[in-house]
A = this chain, B = another copy of it.
């Protein structure tokens, strides 16, 4: 029972409900800027691999930098060496040397570190369009693990391939650098959350951020998104116990803000949730790179 989350069975939604009562009314300010919608440029004439322009990676890059025929061509070449990985199999192993990078094409993965006492901290989730393992190309030994959550497809990109592509299409290089920097900014945001935000806000914030990222590649909208994460994943990402994540999710659900159930996250009250989590709509929605290249 009580799976509908309508709050009839258990009325005490605690702190979250209190917050709603005291803060939400009248604070729903207007959406100043919608998360930038994915703009795929009209197909240029020629030999572009037909599906590339609709690929998550291209969609994401295209939202930063206008892609011409050259860039689309380069992207399609990067997409050649597709590989599949099953859940539980590590893509990048802590301490391994001379890794390639990957571009996620389909599925979800996460990067994490393990402490001596066995605790696991999830640093970030990777979704379609994301780069993966870039730092392991810069350092001799990669400093974290990456593991698929769902079966994934990813394109393997060697160091040389990538540098060569960059040399040919500097605008693409800038866009990728921009994307990588955005990822770093997300890690900082996670640090802020884990360090300072209360459990419920933190959890809500993470899910809102994932939603914003998924929207960039067309995998979600304001109503919600398909989410293969378990509550254990969530727990290790936000630095809580799985038990407490469960309680927090119940509170949020019973407050009528969001439902995390059956592989789907549903935003029952998007604006309310954004207010509650103090989610900055702009931080994943920066204007393009400053650099004119």
A98→B144 CA distance, assembly (Å): 33
Q: Does A93 contact B (CB under 8 A)?
A: no
**Contact at B239–A195, with CB atoms within 8 Å?**
yes
Choose, from A33-41, A49-57, A221-229, A281-289, the stretch at the interface.
A281-289
Interface flags, A136-176, vs B, CB<8A=1, else 0:
01111101100000000000000100000000000000000
**Contact at B140–A191, with CB atoms within 8 Å?**
no
Known: A113-B188, A113-B192, A278-B116. A283 touches B98 (CB 8 A): no
Majority SS of interface residues in chain A? Answer: mixed
**Contact at B141–A286, with CB atoms within 8 Å?**
yes
Q: Does A65 contact B (CB under 8 A)?
A: no
* Across-interface contacts of A197 in B (CB, < 8 A): 115, 119
User: Which residues of chain A (259-293) have a CB below 8 Å from chain B?
Assistant: 278, 283, 286-291
Q: Does A69 contact B (CB under 8 A)?
A: no
A195→B121 CA distance, assembly (Å): 7
Q: Does A86 contact B (CB under 8 A)?
A: no
The number of times this chain is found in the oligomer is: 2
**Contact at B185–A135, with CB atoms within 8 Å?**
yes
* Across-interface contacts of A98 in B (CB, < 8 A): 290
**Contact at A195–B194, with CB atoms within 8 Å?**
yes
Q: Does A85 contact B (CB under 8 A)?
A: no
* Across-interface contacts of A143 in B (CB, < 8 A): 185, 188, 283
* Whole-angstrom distance between the Cβ of A199 and the nearest chain B Cβ: 12
* Across-interface contacts of A140 in B (CB, < 8 A): 286-288, 290
**Contact at B121–A159, with CB atoms within 8 Å?**
no
Q: Does A250 contact B (CB under 8 A)?
A: no
* Across-interface contacts of A11 in B (CB, < 8 A): none
Size class of the A contact interface (CB-based, 8 Å): 35 or more
**Contact at B195–A138, with CB atoms within 8 Å?**
no
* Whole-angstrom distance between the Cβ of A203 and the nearest chain B Cβ: 13
User: Which residues of chain A (189-220) have a CB below 8 Å from chain B?
Assistant: 190-192, 194-197
Q: Which A residues form the contact surface with B (CB < 8 A)?
A: 98, 113, 115-117, 119-121, 123, 135, 137-141, 143-144, 159, 177-178, 181, 184-185, 187-188, 190-192, 194-197, 238-239, 278, 283, 286-291
Can you list 29 pairs linking A and B with CB atoms under 8 Å apart? Answer: A98-B290, A115-B192, A115-B278, A116-B278, A119-B196, A121-B191, A121-B196, A123-B188, A123-B191, A135-B181, A137-B290, A138-B290, A139-B181, A140-B286, A140-B287, A140-B288, A140-B290, A143-B185, A143-B188, A187-B187, A187-B188, A187-B191, A190-B191, A191-B191, A191-B194, A194-B194, A194-B195, A195-B238, A196-B239
